Amino acid sequence: MEFGGGLGRFAVSPPIQNLCREIVEVPGGAEWRIRKLQEDFDGFCWKYAGSSVIVNYHFRRLQTSTTPDDENLKMFYAKVSHFMSPVEISLQPKYLTSARKSIMNQLNAAYQSAMSRPDGFQEDQIFVPVACAVQELGIWYRGRISQISGKEHVVVELVDFGTQILVPRHHILPLLRRFGRAPPLCLKCKTDGLSINDLEIKDLHDFKDIVSECNALFRVEIKSMDEPFLIDLYHPTISGLNVCERFFPPPEDTAKLDRIERSWDAHCKKMKEEVEDDEDFEEHDGDYFPSPSCPKSPGLQIPREVSPRVKYISRLPKCPRAPRFQQDTLHVEHIENSQLIYLQYPYQIEKRAELDEFLRVTWPRLPRIPLEMRKEGQVIAIRNPRFNAVRRGIIVDEDTVLLVDYGRFVKCPKKSDLRLMPAVGILLEEPMLTIISLTRGVNMHTPHHSETLFLRQKLPRGTPIHFKWDKKSKTTPLRGKLTKKGQKEAMNDQMVKNLKNRKIDGTCRQLDIYRPRDNHVLPRGTHVYHATCHPHYSKGNEEFVWI
């Protein structure tokens, strides 16, 4: 007897094991149609061999090498034939150039002759991704159908160049079998460690400049075997220079994670203390000690002693952005190079003087920084006993501090006296600097030292200037043109003309024996340019810590 209206019939029955082990082919798909064409028309190539054959060759070559550290075995030269961004690149291995030319010559000789040229496609033979020969501007290429565009046109990918073209259907013909034996000689690649979300419009323009500067020739290291292949692009003449490294997202700030963890621990501790205080208040309204003469009397109320906790600055807010009005007047504070110039508004100069004086007066009352807080990114106060000057700073490493209101890096001993700043009043002000970058430099990626010498000579500290913002630039430091007050010609153009007149080639990367020249001055000591401004200038909000 069944209960519940006969619902037992819906009970799940045990699965029946299928013992069939035959391979069943489902007709109708693109691969099935290509196999049928290969059987019926075996004189033509309908599908290319995978380009992974070339990739496997490089991996085998690296595995069988006795010296895997040799860069010549890890990398090969390749030409960028087509690109949209650092994550969409088509590469032609340079050692396959002769093979590509030979295939092109034989293909054009065969298809330009009416005697050896095959007949056109039948209607049912045109579908994605059939291999074909395609004619463009009178030249025949090996191609692959990528898209059907209406009844009259198709989109064809040129497998040896990585580009796509739209052509009429009568411009494509079946590919003779002997021309399909070689795999596609162009590799579809993307830069390892980079995604499209990491890029901005200016990055695409910068990558285009890099390709143009290197004449589209790079050294390539393949790091995967699946298309699109992950690669690293290296400069053709400078050893170890990854040209796409500048587009990588900034490394995770471990110091920031430590600050977040400390802030959260302090918050939890504070909340726990507040809850305990509330519970005591609700029960006793304080701690009571009964009177000896009357045990039942409420006695004396003695409030709990709570040690005071002070709020200190852990990170300052980012600096103000560059002016977007050309009529604003600023003053030069420091020139690191042509891509990193520190300016100040008149109000920032006054505010910084007031802030420095406040720090100098309160220095004896500032607490020394604990050893566990002496980490990268921590905001501190540092004193120069020689001049009795106190400045706000940021710890960069064990022996380097960035003077946040001056844009200068200073060396200090590991056991130097660094102190915390309380989160009060003027000490909470943003960095008293405005940072810009010049456009139209000789080399946008590696600033030339002669540019720096020219700018420092023409723009000494305190020089009043005007800045014209380049609207394509969106992040700090904003790019633009710098004009000295009272002049019409931009300092960018003067700098380029000066280097041209002195016959200094800032874009040259050729390795050569150093020969002293009268017109060239080398940096003193171990001078190192900072390519980008410190993260505290460009992003982030203020952070605090309770002690």
Q: Can you tell me the distance from the alpha carbon of 353 to that of 15, in angstroms, rounded to the nearest whole number?
A: 83
Specify whether 239 is located in the same domain as 347.
no
The answer to whether the peptide bond before residue 367 is cis (omega within 30 degrees of 0) is: no
Q: What is the pLDDT of residue 444?
A: 55
Q: Choose one of 462, 478, 502: the last residue of a domain.
A: 502
Q: Which of 196, 202, 261 is nearest to 228 (CA)?
A: 196
Structural domain of 185: 19-247
Decide if 508 is inside a domain: no
Please answer whether residues 279 and 223 qualify as being in contact, where contact means their C-beta atoms are separated by less than 8 angstroms: no
Q: Can you tell me the distance from the alpha carbon of 196 to that of 85, in angstroms, rounded to the nearest whole number?
A: 8
Q: What is the pLDDT of residue 432?
A: 92
Task: Evaluate the CA torsion angle 204, 207, 211, 213 in order and state its sign.
Answer: positive
Decide if 311 is inside a domain: no
Q: Which of 225, 232, 233 is nearest to 53 (CA)?
A: 225
Q: What is the pLDDT of residue 106?
A: 92
pTM of this structure: 0.48
Q: What is the pLDDT of residue 255?
A: 67
Decide if 383 is inside a domain: yes
DSSP state of 274: H
Decide if 256 is inside a domain: no
Specify whether 80 is located in the same domain as 186.
yes
Q: Cα separations (Å) of 477 from 134, 278, 327, 340, 534?
A: 48, 49, 19, 7, 10
Decide if 252 is inside a domain: no
Please answer whether residues 405 and 345 qualify as being in contact, where contact means their C-beta atoms are separated by less than 8 angstroms: no
Decide if 10 is inside a domain: no
Q: What is the pLDDT of residue 62?
A: 59
Q: What is the pLDDT of residue 140?
A: 93
Specify whether 100 is located in the same domain as 201.
yes
Decide if 427 is inside a domain: yes
Please answer whether residues 405 and 431 qualify as being in contact, where contact means their C-beta atoms are separated by less than 8 angstroms: yes
Spell 429-443 as b/e; 16+ CB within 10 A means b.
bbbbbbbbbbbebbb
User: Could you give the 3-state DSSP secondary structure of residue 268?
Assistant: helix
Please answer whether residues 210 and 86 qualify as being in contact, where contact means their C-beta atoms are separated by less than 8 angstroms: no
Specify whether 241 is located in the same domain as 366.
no
Helix (H) or strand (E) holding 164: strand 163-168
Decide if 13 is inside a domain: no
CATH code of 399's domain? 2.30.30.140
Q: What is the pLDDT of residue 424?
A: 87
Structural domains in the chain (count): 2
Angle at 340 between CA 426 and CA 379, to 5 degrees: 35
Q: Can you tell me the distance from the alpha carbon of 270 to that of 306, in angstroms, rounded to the nearest whole number?
A: 12
Q: Choose one of 219, 247, 275: the last residue of a domain.
A: 247
Q: Choose one of 247, 280, 314: the last residue of a domain.
A: 247
Q: Can you tell me the distance from the alpha carbon of 172 to that of 175, in angstroms, rounded to the nearest whole number?
A: 9
Give the pair of three-digit tokens for residue 540: 């982030």
Q: What is the pLDDT of residue 2?
A: 42
Q: Can you tell me the distance from the alpha carbon of 207 to that of 196, in angstroms, rounded to the nearest whole number?
A: 13
Specify whether 137 is located in the same domain as 44.
yes
Specify whether 396 is located in the same domain as 494.
yes
- Tell me the mean pLDDT per 10 residues along the chain, length 547: 42 62 70 87 87 71 56 78 91 89 92 85 89 92 91 91 91 91 89 87 90 91 84 88 86 69 78 52 38 42 55 90 82 90 92 93 92 90 89 91 92 87 90 87 65 90 91 84 90 87 72 56 57 83 85
Specify whether 229 is located in the same domain as 81.
yes
Q: Which residues contact 188 (CB under 8 A, 6 or more apart)?
A: 51, 89, 90, 162, 227, 228, 229
